[in-house]
Amino acid sequence: MTRLSYPTLRFLGAAGTVTGSRYLVEWGERRVQIDCGLFQGFKQLRRRNRKPFPVRPGSVETVLLTHAHLDHSGYLPALIRAGFRGRIVCTPATRELCGLILPDSGHLQEEEAKYARRKRYSEHKKPLPLYTLKDAQAALKQFETIEFEQPVDLGGGLAAEFIPAGHLLGAAQIRLNLDGLTVHFSGDLGHDPDPLMRPPRPFKGADVLVCESTYGNRKHPDTDPEAELAPALKRVFGRGGTVLIPSFAVGRAQGLMYHIARLMNRGEVPHVPVYLNSPMAVDATDIYHRHHDEHHVSWEDCVGMFRIAKRVNSVEQSKELNTRQGPMIIVSASGMLTGGRILHHLVSFGGDKRNAIVLSGFQAGGTRGAALARGEQKVRVFGKEYQINAEIVQLETFSGHADADEIIRWMAAGSAPTMTYLTHGEPEASDTLRRRVAHELGRPVRVPEHLETIRLDRPR
């Protein structure tokens, strides 16, 4: 490894796309990575997960993790299998959630590879998982936790601080100090009026800012989530249908159950069976109970959202659900219909026009969720095309991300950076936010290229 006399930042992911968050900071002989996410969505992006890592994994000393979602943490087992032996530092809640998410990801990849081999729908003669359950369990042994706003000494004049970001339990902004030069990574910023999480801590200013732009071209509607959800539920139940909700198991599933429980308890929607078909979401709900200091849901409401759903644990129970008819609600991972048990429910319930598929969050380009959201009526699942006749409902009020106005307000609270880089967004979203930062805040701003390297002491 060549010793660098000046600090650099390399955009190894989330540049020009909304997934695969990976940023590498190099200074002297130090290599520190912020986030280690999976690329998701379009096939050309997913293929990046299979390419050799851009630097020798063993040369990376530390990974700092903003939060547990797969597009920020999901490549860690592959990095470790490739030779990374350093420490992974995150908040305690992030470590707990990664203890659910990463093993589940490894298990699902193994199951999907087996299914593809058995059904022979893969382009590969012998499809293999990117990593296995065992790889994920090994990765968890390298985690270390740090409380919010406690300094982390990374050696060689480098230090880091984790700052609450909202968005998800344990989610953090990461502030990196390189011997007086500050680089601030926003992570995923939470939505200010989020029903579960507290808002992100304000930006204090930095020399360089790397900020997400997921909703950089949108404003969340000023509507109560329950007022948006209730009419859709009543409409489907009225025709005897099933409401199928693809949901991120961590964060979104808990928010949905919270609102469904409140609506049913007030009598605004009928009491129908609610099934939570995600063992990971069940376990994540327990973690929410243990971290009340990070969210503002009362203990009573937390218990209520936990009790509203019948938990579906086994594969046999999941299959049996597909033989039932509505009215009922099935909440199941994953939120963008990229894998897991939800796909079997999609095949079983998607063809019936009495039913509804309720999309509750951002749908990245190239995913089945994005295809349904834009009106496509056929999706490919397990190598076959399926006709979707069910009603598609796109909820706009359940996002865990800050919208464009909230990001601008968050940035404006701190002193202007020498340069702001916008990442973790689709091209249109990032470029729309870029124009706003330049014109409304009058700040230098740019959308970096994939694998681009910039000097932190002379950002451009």
Q: pTM of this prediction?
A: 0.86
CA atoms of 215 and 219, how far apart (whole Å): 7
The set of residues, in sequence order, having a beta carbon less than 8 Å from that of 397 and lying 6+ positions away, is 220, 221, 223, 224, 225, 228
The set of residues, in sequence order, having a beta carbon less than 8 Å from that of 323 and lying 6+ positions away, is none
pLDDT higher for 122 or 31? 31
Residue 193's closest CA among 428, 423, 405, 430? 405
- Tell me which amino acid residue 57 is: P
- Look at strands 419-423 and 158-164 and give their pairing: unpaired
CA atoms of 339 and 14, how far apart (whole Å): 21
Tokens 């050696």 locate to 155
Report pLDDT digits (tens) over 70-116. 999 999 999 999 999 999 999 999 999 999 889 988 988 888 888 77
| Peptide bond between residue 270 and the one before it cis (omega within 30 degrees of 0) | no
The set of residues, in sequence order, having a beta carbon less than 8 Å from that of 37 and lying 6+ positions away, is 13, 14, 19, 20, 21, 22, 69, 70, 71, 72, 73, 74, 75
Please say whether the beta carbons of 309 and 257 come within 8 A: yes
Report pLDDT digits (tens) over 107-165. 888 888 887 777 666 666 788 899 999 999 999 999 999 999 999 999 988 999 999 99
Q: Picking from 1-15, 67-81, 258-272, 345-359, which range would have the lowest pLDDT averaged per residue?
A: 1-15
Check residue 237 and give its pLDDT.
96
What integer best gives the mean pLDDT of the chain? 90
The set of residues, in sequence order, having a beta carbon less than 8 Å from that of 209 and lying 6+ positions away, is 183, 184, 186, 203, 411, 417, 419, 420, 421
Check residue 436 and give its pLDDT.
98
Check residue 290 and give its pLDDT.
79
How are the residues of the chain apportioned to helix, strand and coil, as percentages rounded to the nearest 5? 35, 25, 45
Mean per-residue pLDDT, 375-391: 92
Strands of the sheet with 4-11, listed across from one edge: 143-145, 87-90, 62-64, 30-34, 23-28, 4-11, 453-455
Tokens 């203890």 locate to 99
In the chain the first and final C-alpha atoms are separated, in Å, by 25
DSSP assigned state of 249: T
Check residue 289 and give its pLDDT.
73
Q: Is the pLDDT of residue 2 over 60?
A: no
- Look at strands 87-90 and 143-145 and give their pairing: parallel
pLDDT higher for 357 or 1? 357
Burial label for 118, CB within 10 Å (0-12, 13-18, 19+), is: exposed
Q: Is the pLDDT of residue 332 over 70?
A: yes
Percent of the chain predicted with pLDDT > 90: 65
Q: Interior CA angle at 111 toward 107 and 114, to 5°?
A: 140
- Tell me which amino acid residue 19 is: T
Report pLDDT digits (tens) over 276-301. 887 666 677 777 777 777 777 776 76
Q: Picking from 59-63, 226-230, 304-308, 358-362, which range would have the lowest pLDDT averaged per residue?
A: 304-308
How far, CA to CA in Å, does 421 sit from each of 27, 436, 441? 19, 13, 14
Domains along the sequence of the chain with CATH:
4-218+400-455 (3.60.15.10), 225-394 (3.40.50.10890)
Please say whether the beta carbons of 178 and 456 come within 8 A: yes
DSSP assigned state of 205: B
161, β-bridge pairs: 175
Check residue 119 and give its pLDDT.
67
Check residue 420 and give its pLDDT.
98
Tokens of 221: 């509607």
